[in-house]
């Protein structure tokens, strides 16, 4: 699974409680955290195969994540716990969906595991991975419908709103000023407008022509 897929699983865990944007971001990013060892690709393919799915995909890294999460979230124990869960589940997700050799018990043990040694690789990287991807899409849609946000809010709530509105509004909404499909919702009057009758201003604020004037 890709880091984006793991982040979306972290995003799911981030909605297992009532958290602010900061806590949601930490939990979601923890879901992708173990893939930091993928940066070894910058040192070449040999380094990538030596460290990816190995350096941070183990109980030692989970323990380190527990300490870092504790420093950030010690006043919010549920968020702390879910950050560690999101990080640890990344390793489990990779075991189930990627036919790579992993060493999840390091530094306690050097035992290697690979689900593809027990099941056909097409089941692991085919059936299981596509099932996981379908779950991610469905879960992300459910969170958007219920909470009106996506992982883009980690970068900027305004960017999240802008991109989601552009993709979602045209399906069911028309511009208040004309018959064109709406792509934007004014931050002041909360009405829907097409690109002709709205503008994206500083800090990605969306204003219709009337409110802007």
Query: 20-46 pLDDT, tens per residue?
Result: 999 999 999 999 999 999 899 889 989
- Same structural domain, 171 and 67: no
Instruction: Give the three-state DSSP class for 147.
Output: helix
Q: Domain count of the chain?
A: 2
CA-to-CA distance for 150 and 148, rounded, in angstroms?
7
170 and 139 belong to one structural domain:
no
CB-based contact 55:32 (threshold 8 Å):
no
Q: Is 109 exposed, middle or buried (0-12, 13-18, 19+ CB in 10 A)?
A: exposed
The predicted-structure confidence for 95-119, as pLDDT tens digits, reads as follows 999 988 899 999 999 999 999 999 9
Do 68 and 91 belong to one domain? yes
pLDDT tens-place string over residues 62-106: 999 999 999 999 999 999 999 999 999 999 999 999 988 899 999
Q: Give yes or no: residues 127 and 174 share one domain.
A: no
Tell me: do 18 and 113 sit in the same domain.
yes
Tell how strand 184-185 and strand 192-193 pair up. Answer: antiparallel
**Tell me, what's the pLDDT at 100?**
86
Determine the structural domain holding residue 132 and report its residue range. Answer: 3-151
Contacts of 106 (CB under 8 A, 6+ apart): 54, 58, 59, 60
Contacts 24+ apart (CB under 8 A), 107-110: 107/58, 107/60, 108/59, 108/60
Band of pLDDT at residue 197, cut at 50, 70 and 90: very high
């Amino acid at each position: 699974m890709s880091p984006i897929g793991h982040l979306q699983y972290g995003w799911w865990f981030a909605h297992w409680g009532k958290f602010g944007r900061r806590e949601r971001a930490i939990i979601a990013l923890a879901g992708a955290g173990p893939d930091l060892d993928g940066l070894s690709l910058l040192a070449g393919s040999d380094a990538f195969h030596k460290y990816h799915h190995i350096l941070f995909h183990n109980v030692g890294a989970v323990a380190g994540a527990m300490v870092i999460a504790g420093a950030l979230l010690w006043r919010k124990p549920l968020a702390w716990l879910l950050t560690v869960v999101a990080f640890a589940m990344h390793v489990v997700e990779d075991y189930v969906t990627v036919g790579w050799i992993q060493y999840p018990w390091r530094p306690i043990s050097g035992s290697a595991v690979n689900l593809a040694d027990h099941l056909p690789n097409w089941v692991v990287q085919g059936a299981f991975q596509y099932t996981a991807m379908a779950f991610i899409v469905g879960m992300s849609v459910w969170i958007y419908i219920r909470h009106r946000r996506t992982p883009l809010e980690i970068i900027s709530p305004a960017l999240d709103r802008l991109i989601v509105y552009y993709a979602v509004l045209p399906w069911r909404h028309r511009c208040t000023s004309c018959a064109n499909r709406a792509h934007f919702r004014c931050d002041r009057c909360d009405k829907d407008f097409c690109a002709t009758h709205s503008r994206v201003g500083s800090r990605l604020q969306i204003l219709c022509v009337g409110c802007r004037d």
